[in-house]
Amino acid sequence: MSEPRKLEVLRAIVEDYVHSREPVGSKALVERHHLGVSSATIRNDMAALEDEGLITAPHTSAGRIPTDKGYRLFVDQISAVKPLSPAERRAIQALLEGSDDLDDVLDRTVRLLSQLTNQVAVVQYPHLSRAKVRHIEFVLLAPRKVLAVLIADTGKVEQRVIDAGQELSDEVLSELRTRFLGSLSGTPLNLLPQTLQSVIAGCPPARRGPAQALARGLEALATSSREERMVMAGTANLARSNVDFPLSIGPVLEALEEQVVMLRLLSDMAEDPRGVTVSIGRENPYDGLAEASVVATGYGPDATAKVGVLGPTRMDYPTTMAAVRAVARYLSRILGP
Amino acid sequence: MSEPRKLEVLRAIVEDYVHSREPVGSKALVERHHLGVSSATIRNDMAALEDEGLITAPHTSAGRIPTDKGYRLFVDQISAVKPLSPAERRAIQALLEGSDDLDDVLDRTVRLLSQLTNQVAVVQYPHLSRAKVRHIEFVLLAPRKVLAVLIADTGKVEQRVIDAGQELSDEVLSELRTRFLGSLSGTPLNLLPQTLQSVIAGCPPARRGPAQALARGLEALATSSREERMVMAGTANLARSNVDFPLSIGPVLEALEEQVVMLRLLSDMAEDPRGVTVSIGRENPYDGLAEASVVATGYGPDATAKVGVLGPTRMDYPTTMAAVRAVARYLSRILGP
DNA sequence: GTTAGCACTCGCCACGCCTAAGTGCTAACC
DNA sequence: GGTTAGCACTTAGGCGTGGCGAGTGCTAAC
């Protein structure tokens, strides 16, 4: 029993099953792929694969389907990344080029990716840590309520309402604004906390209170937005493939809606040297996603924010991985300096 | 055959069907509701109701279910708005009070409303027309690219990247900023176009070009955000009630994701004097929502932005309407002056 | 206008049957 | 030893049958 052929058999099973959604038997296998051996031999191989836990039979007299472990082996060692079609490349380029705003870019990206893969696409907002403060604005909404707006040089705008703790006049606020802006302009966001301390220290005692409140607000602004938000598209694709999620489309939707879950999941995915990380079925901790796989990768300057796709474990990994990788690259290029 | 009793029968049918999801027959009806007549009489009434197109029988020997028209009559003339439970009132109050940001408020609102009704909740962003300009900021991202930020006195922040058409220096931009801010501060957003014209007119010829570009950008900023965006929550509830959308949960998700469709739908709903508008099944033009109903109402100062709920035609209208109305009221109060 | 009674219509479910697909095993073969 | 042919065995799923059960419409009496 040759080891290479066993892998070849696993590959064939995965591909056929992904294609037909039906358990694949030994006979169909030798017919569709020219493996050069008879179905009996394949049966032996399949028995071995089953012993190793790579495939399983839903019932005695059905063909085999890959297990999570089988998909894992397939993804890690067998499959080759399928190149995108020129049409797809063009679509990516065209769709992403005419956009200005960051929100806009991300929005187009998820839509594109979900169309490309026929699955649910997810994009995490890029981190701000590398960005620098471009501008700060305080606006007095009510005597004690200040709207703080932070504009980063990446074009990202963050806002938040802050309780100043005491009543402020427009003049005081304006003075504070100048103070903050003077010290903070150009500061990288990850260094913001320290710099804020020095601003407060430089304030006359009378201004300390509100300055501290504002500083806290700004700090929250810079850190809160880090990994907190994401955009999503293509949930309708879940329903189309309701054959894949027999009755469990509900939990999947829940997980997607509870953005925290998805964000955790994305963040936890270790960066794969080959560029795209895959989490298959029960490999991920959330029960609702037991029958789902996530294909994701980082993008942007330090590749910390993630873009990815969620679909049934029975998905076309090579193509999906190719699409995710391609989209991430274009995305990085567009957002890049 | 008494007219009032016929309505009573329709009411009973709607309520039972909503409760049990199963066609309701004449016998079950007299048992569950004390109508004071026999099942034979009810059968006669039901035949009449069917002639009028208010109810229908899925097949010969099944009970009846309401038609869209039947629901319509029920909503318009029969049902009484069910008051919310004290617990629900408390939940609304508690959840909405601890919030600061507009985004935050809307986000909590949809989540709350979807939990309250076990359906998909939708909130349209409030219009800006009544809001006034509080602050304007221009930030130079690249020699020709300007990030315009518009802060309204409602605390809403809008941003957009503008192509200035020619290279600008920080000084020129700063001068323009002062010019714009001087004239625009306090201007209601719906009057923005006219005011912008006067700003441009007041510019020295050398500044006209960029000023015009910026003005166009600001105008787009003020109008674009009007009815364009919405927040949504509770799509997972669609799946839970997959009994209601037999196989058609896909189209519903599509409609929800194509925000344009939902926004059109919401905007098109005429304001009902009783406060809550209902669109039932095929009353709405989009095919994917043929089995869905929307319950919505306006909120905010001029009640032009909408908040609502989408669910199966077979929904508990009285409670849903009550929830929508209550949430809209709290929302108006919080956003109010 | 209401009611009782009755014949009739279907959807649904359970039962049993059969077929097709696929397996595992054994014995022969190279 | 690995490969193959053959065969007995298993089982899901499709299909027709028949028996409820729920519900209706109609008629005749009240």
The domains of chain B, with CATH numbers, are 3-76 (1.10.10.10), 86-125+228-335 (3.30.450.40), 133-225 (3.30.390.10)
> pLDDT at position B241, please?
65
Do B151 and A153 count as a contact with CB atoms less than 8 A apart?
no
CB proximity A261 to B under 8 Å: no
- The nucleotides of chain C lying under 7 Å from a protein CB are 1-5, 8-11, 20-26
- Report the 10 Å Cβ neighbour count for A62: 12
User: Higher confidence at residue A182 or residue B47?
Assistant: B47
| pTM of structure | 0.85
d(C-alpha A215, C-alpha A148), whole Å? 10
- Residue pair A221/A162 in contact (Cβ under 8 Å)? The answer is no
Question: What's the mean pLDDT when you consider all of chain B?
Answer: 87
Overall residue count recorded for chain A in this entry = 337
Integer distance in angstroms from CA B151 to C1' C9? 69
Beta carbons of B243 and B293 less than 8 angstroms apart: no
Chain B positions touching A242 (Cβ under 8 A) are 247, 249-250
Task: Judge whether residue A65 contacts strand C, using its CB and a 7 Å cut-off.
Answer: no
Contact A250 B236 (CB under 8 A): yes
Residue of B114, B241, B243, B253 best to disrupt the A interface, most CBs of A under 10 A: B253
Which pLDDT does position A289 carry in this prediction? 93
Q: Is the CB of A60 under 7 A from strand C?
A: yes
Pick from B157, B159, B235: CB nearest A257 = B235
- The type of residue at A145 is K
Which has the closest alpha carbon to A279: A302, A305, A260, A297? A297
User: Higher confidence at residue B160 or residue A313?
Assistant: A313
Q: What is the pLDDT of residue A272?
A: 73
Nearest nucleotide (C1') to alpha carbon of B22: D22
CA of A28 to C1' of C21 (A): 10
- What residues pair up with A130 in beta bridges, in sequence order? none
pLDDT of residue B239: 83
pLDDT category of residue B115 using cuts at 50, 70 and 90: very high
Cα distance from B171 to chain A (closest Cα, Å)? 15
Report pLDDT for B96.
67
Task: Note whether A105 and A99 are within 8 A (CB).
Answer: yes
Q: What gap in Å lies between CA A42 and CA A10, rounded to an integer?
A: 10
Distance between CA atoms of B25 and B31, rounded to whole angstroms?
A: 10
| pLDDT tens per residue, range B43-85 | 999 999 999 999 999 988 889 999 999 999 999 998 888 888 9
Q: Which of B270, B282, B278 is nearest to B294 (CA)?
A: B278
Task: Look at residue B94 in the predicted model and tell me its pLDDT.
Answer: 82
| The pLDDT value given to residue A247 | 59
Determine the pLDDT at residue B43: 95
Give percent of chain A above pLDDT 90: 43
> Residue B227 above 60 pLDDT?
no
pLDDT (0 to 100) of residue B314: 93
What percentage of chain A reaches a pLDDT higher than 70?
93
- Kindly indicate the confidence band of residue A206, based on its pLDDT and cuts at 50, 70 and 90: confident
* CA B52 – CA A193 distance, rounded (Å): 71
The whole-angstrom distance between B79's CA and the closest CA on chain A is 31
Mutating which of B100, B134, B136, B286 best tests the A interface, going by the most A Cβ atoms within 10 A? B100
Query: B254 or A274, which is more confident?
Result: B254
Position A40: which residue type? Answer: A
Is residue A243's pLDDT more than 70? Answer: no
